[in-house]
A and B are shown apart, each in its own frame.
Chain A
């Protein structure tokens, strides 16, 4: 999911960085005192989630958890995920510093989109209904990220459809796992701390 240094053409890298900076600025504006701890916790979970490898067949996949971050934070997911990505790049060498903007955009924008689409629905109805929407949102964010990665590669000259298919199919297991995880996280939060999502709608 992390694109590495040197895989993308310069216009894509610069465009991604500019767009990511815009998203981060927007996110910081919405990040008020009450949501700072949430953002920190989700940033830390995102940072660690990529290290948890789930073996599937001969390969293994890792969690991303961008859907959960988006659903809980809205635009504030941008700075939270950016911090996680930055530290992953510095500590583990995932991705790289020059492509940080593109990676942040690829991971945070689908998260925000998931929030725009499903954020309202999660706070409504019974907790179980909210959890189902949350699961859908989690899977949607991963699917969106695979599409963004494929698009970034396509803009750099790789054929879009093969690249998109490759990334998308490889992440089907992740989508399933994240859907379940996000669903349960939403279910728990709805039961224990329902105002988490009510405020998310107001913001």
Chain B
């Protein structure tokens, strides 16, 4: 019995039991699409398989999330990319990046590629014309800075404030009050 309880406790411990709200987001990251998967209680979906499909449902590729719930995918065609992940027990994440965003990523990718070929002329003292490598580094730094903010905004959006709770209770009171009124009228008439 004790062993059974222990197994039950171990089996139940790492599960995001009540985290029934799945958070999924994708955003452009250089020449790749970066995304994150997690639950509204802060648990991230580690090592989950993400299936990437095009607008017509054909599979474009697969990727896996890392231990922090992040995944990256390098697009090859400028179509809308749908990211689909089954996190088990009825938790399904589905998020789509529109075609124009993907096209912008693909448009950004080619200029970055020839950058190492011409590094000599890039560092100009004027400062206005930054080299591709510098631009890349700045973009990376900005992305790293913005990432926690992004996560905070996502968490904030999931936040249930007192107003919506009271609003919901108000709806319930109103609905059952209406039902009560109708039932009472029927009783008086009958």
Contacts and interface: CB of A to CB of B under 8 A. Distances in A.
B133 to A, nearest CB: 42
A110 B14 CA distance: 26
Contact of A83 (B12, B167, B175, B177): B175
A8 B176 CA distance: 31
B49 interface: no
A199 B12 CA distance: 39
B20 A1 contact: yes
Contact of A91 (B43, B158, B164): B164
Interface string A58-77: 11111000000000000000
Interface residues of B, number: 40
B172 A53 contact: no
Interface residues of A, number: 50
A33 B177 CA distance: 11
Residue from A59, A152, A163, A174 with most neighbouring chain B CB atoms (10 Å): A59
Interface string B1-17: 00000001001111111
Contact of A4 (B91, B158, B180): B91
18 contacts: A2-B90, A5-B92, A7-B90, A36-B180, A39-B176, A44-B172, A48-B168, A48-B169, A57-B12, A59-B16, A59-B17, A91-B168, A93-B158, A95-B20, A166-B89, A169-B8, A169-B15, A170-B12
Given A87-B168, A171-B17, 9 more contacts: A36-B176, A36-B183, A48-B165, A83-B176, A87-B171, A93-B158, A163-B88, A169-B15, A174-B17
